Amino acid sequence: MLDIRFVRENPEIVKENIRKKFQEQKLPLVEKALQLDAENRAIKTEVEALRSERNKASKQIGALMGQGKKEEAEQIKEEIAKKGTKIEDLSKREKEVEEELTKVMMVIPNIIDPSVPIGKDDSENVEVERFGDPNVPDFEIPYHTEIMEALKGIDLDSARKVAGNGFYYLMGDIARLHSAVISYARDFMIERGFTYCVPPFMIRSDVVSGVMSFAEMESMMYKIEGEDLFLIGTSEHSMIGKFIDTILPEKTLPQTLTSYSPCFRKEKGAHGIEERGVYRIHQFEKQEMIVICKPEDSMIWFDKLWQNTVDLFRSLEIPVRTLECCSGDLADLKVKSVDVEAWSPRQKKYFEVGSCSNLGDAQARRLKIRISGENGKYLAHTLNNTVVAPPRMLIAFLENNLQADGSISIPEPLRPYMGGKEKIER
């Protein structure tokens, strides 16, 4: 969410940013915000003037009563009562205007970084760099669920009976591999100086509205019936929420946390063959990283975060690339975002396995996350990035480590988490 003062002083910049995001339907919101802001400030000025007049009149009453001028004092009392009624009416309208202004401001997108490529949707995202050499073996690679089924590692039929489509049972060594990846990612991030955390898996509505847009909330979040609670769609929401309404001393920054959690998503809409199996599901587990830092440090941390994910995948010898998200593919709160994509030997292309985002001070403004420094208090910057989400990561892992005999080779860093196993065999 933008600062209303910034919108007031730079309306054309805000409008141009909306155009860059190809959201022309939101252009009228800028004028709407300015109108509401002007009305809000006018109300505050009038209320302040009325209160000042009322205070002066109150002092006159005492003086008049002391002079025995009771009738004049009663007249002033009537005037004070009228001013009081008007103040109450204006205060009620002030609250209504502020609520309406907040709703409008929550929909106006954040200002994107100048380095973000301009494009309408994800088809116009820009490849930045490749890490590792993509390899296509000289034998056929089955679809990932077929690989898992051959190793007795997944049961989709039972999951459908129990929970419906979009769920799964992982079994045996595949389930163990899933846990091994999470544990390895946890230790990988701890070694890089991040504090490990297991957060709440449900959050209140004020945290939800603080960390994401209304459109994202509607398409992603599961609401708990009869409670002011939502199941988290990704753990950074709960992790950023940890700092709601806090003032952080500069000396305690940056705050660098890595978290484990299950994640729950609606994933509405029909999906193609490449998004079946365990690619797009309602429940999965994830290792995440977040940073709370000073504004001048956020871009430095942005580059460090996505590099962590690249390094983790490369440590397991999985080729990856980074993809710069274009303006039209950025969620409204994001300043800049890079996707990390892993190589799929079966599809002979890359697919998304993680996303790194810099949200500037948008979440901090909504959640009131402030920093206390020598020159006073100011808003923090927040960032998040996927370390690893095993369901999708498993697809890349299985395809890149599949052997001609159907076994799966286990890279050396994962072997301690797999009881020393060097391969998963049929």
Give residue-wise pLDDT tens across range 324-340. Answer: 999 999 999 999 999 99
- Name the residue with higher pLDDT: 151 or 82: 151
Instruction: Give the pLDDT of residue 302.
Output: 98
Tell me the mean pLDDT in the region 293-306: 98
Structure pTM? 0.89
Instruction: Give the pLDDT of residue 270.
Output: 46
DSSP of 331-342, one letter per residue? Answer: -TT-SEEEEEEE
pLDDT band with cut points at 50, 70 and 90 for residue 299: very high
Contact indicator for 282, 166 with CB cutoff of 8 Å: yes
Tell me the mean pLDDT in the region 233-237: 91
Q: ∠260-264-265 over CA atoms, to 5°?
A: 135
Terminal C-alpha separation, the chain = 52
Q: Which residues pair with residue 372 across a beta bridge?
A: 249, 377
Give residue-wise pLDDT tens across range 302-313. Answer: 999 999 999 999
Give residue-wise pLDDT tens across range 98-132. Answer: 999 999 999 999 999 999 999 999 999 999 999 99
pLDDT averaged over every residue in the chain: 92
Q: Which domains does the chain have, with CATH numbers?
A: 4-107 (1.10.287.40), 122-424 (3.30.930.10)
Instruction: Give the pLDDT of residue 273.
Output: 47
Instruction: Give the pLDDT of residue 83.
Output: 77
- Name the residue with higher pLDDT: 200 or 89: 200
Residues 219 and 269: their CA atoms lie apart, in Å, by 10
Whether residue 354 has pLDDT greater than 60 = yes
Contact indicator for 232, 203 with CB cutoff of 8 Å: yes
pLDDT band with cut points at 50, 70 and 90 for residue 212: confident
Residues 6+ apart with CB under 8 A from 186: 196, 258, 260, 287
Cα distances (Å, whole numbers) of residue 405 to 9, 147, 343, 418, 424: 66, 11, 21, 20, 11
Instruction: Give the pLDDT of residue 391.
Output: 84
Instruction: Give the pLDDT of residue 64.
Output: 67
Tell me the mean pLDDT in the region 394-398: 96
Whether residue 66 has pLDDT greater than 80 = no
Whether residue 269 has pLDDT greater than 80 = no
What is the percent of the chain where pLDDT is above 90?
A: 80
Tell me the mean pLDDT in the region 48-56: 80
- Name the residue with higher pLDDT: 208 or 53: 208
Tell me the mean pLDDT in the region 62-89: 75
